Amino acid sequence: MASGRERLIFPLDVSTLEEARALVALLASDIATFKVGLELFTAYGPAAISLVHDAGAECFLDLKMHDIPETVARATESATRLGVRYLTLHAANGPKTLTKAAAVAKGSPTTLLAVTVLTSMDDAELHAIGIMASPGDTVLALARMAKGAGVSGLVASAHECKALRAALGADAHLVIPGVRPLGSDANDQKRTATPREAIVNGADKLVVGRPIRDAKDPRAAAQAIAREIDEALSGRA
Ligand code: C5P
């Protein structure tokens, strides 16, 4: 079974390559996967991915793609050539785009993750974009559709983990952001849970950013979260 270190994903949400490189050097012995998102990739492109690979870690390219099938498929092809471990696209792209992207990613080192409902969204935010169903029901519907289209990696909140596991079974790969150790600030996240709760609910991987990045001692914060994951896993086994 994967350890806390292997289940933890740290987003490199910083503005320069130097800061990203320093964080990877500091945390690579405690965290196996680093996420390159919109901020760093927009500024530096593939160089941001290379710095993660150069440190012997895996890269999660979080571009949350949303476009027509042809465009998403071609961008997926480009990402697989960069050797990233994960690549995100919105489940709301719909079945045609997901099916085409899944076919492109098949046999590559890249696992596609369909983003269901962002963890920063609650009922009010969903209503504002015309979705009257609850976040839980929306996540489940999007996840079922994504799995049917050949994308069984999913990004959702810990609140939906249990229902997703029950509905989709063991082969769904559940990546959970919005994770907050007890006592830390929720920031702009709405549907949060502790590392322990997320693991108990069936999460495979946890994305934890600001509670590590903004800690006085980021390494100690990462180690404490990895330990909490290990303890929760021994309870789950
Ligand atoms: O732990 P923290 O809130 O700082 O993590 C924020 C990171 O998680 C950002 O990189 C953000 O893009 C990512 N994320 C998210 N919600 C999602 C998917 C990804 O917050 N549904």
Per residue in 67-103, pLDDT (tens digit) is: 999 999 999 999 999 999 999 999 999 999 999 999 9
Per-residue pLDDT at 173 exceeds 70? yes
Nearest CA to ligand 1 atom 8: 177
Q: Could you read off the pLDDT of 111-161 as tens digits, one per residue? A: 999 999 998 888 999 999 999 999 999 999 999 999 999 999 999 998 899
- Tell me the mean pLDDT in the region 177-195: 86
Whole-prediction pTM value? 0.94
Per-residue pLDDT at 166 exceeds 70? yes
Q: What is the pLDDT of residue 188?
A: 79
- State the average pLDDT for the chain: 95
Q: Establish whether residue 13 lines the binding site of ligand 1, counting it when its CB lies within 6 angstroms of any ligand atom.
A: yes
Per-residue pLDDT at 189 exceeds 90? no
Domain boundaries, the chain: 4-236
Q: In this structure, which topology does domain 4-236 adopt according to CATH?
A: TIM Barrel (3.20.20)
Q: What is the pLDDT of residue 192?
A: 86
List phi, psi (to 5°) of 97.
-65, -45
- Tell me the mean pLDDT in the region 214-226: 96
Per-residue pLDDT at 59 exceeds 90? yes
Q: Establish whether residue 115 lines the binding site of ligand 1, counting it when its CB lies within 6 angstroms of any ligand atom.
A: yes
Q: What is the pLDDT of residue 183?
A: 80
186 alpha carbon – ligand 1 mean position (Å): 11
Residues belonging to the chain: 237
Q: What is the pLDDT of residue 198?
A: 95
Nearest CA to ligand 1 atom 9: 11
Which carries the bigger pLDDT value, residue 35 or residue 188? 35
* Terminal alpha carbon distance of the chain: 9
pLDDT tier for residue 237 given thresholds of 50, 70 and 90: low
Nearest CA to ligand 1 atom 17: 118
DSSP state of 113: E
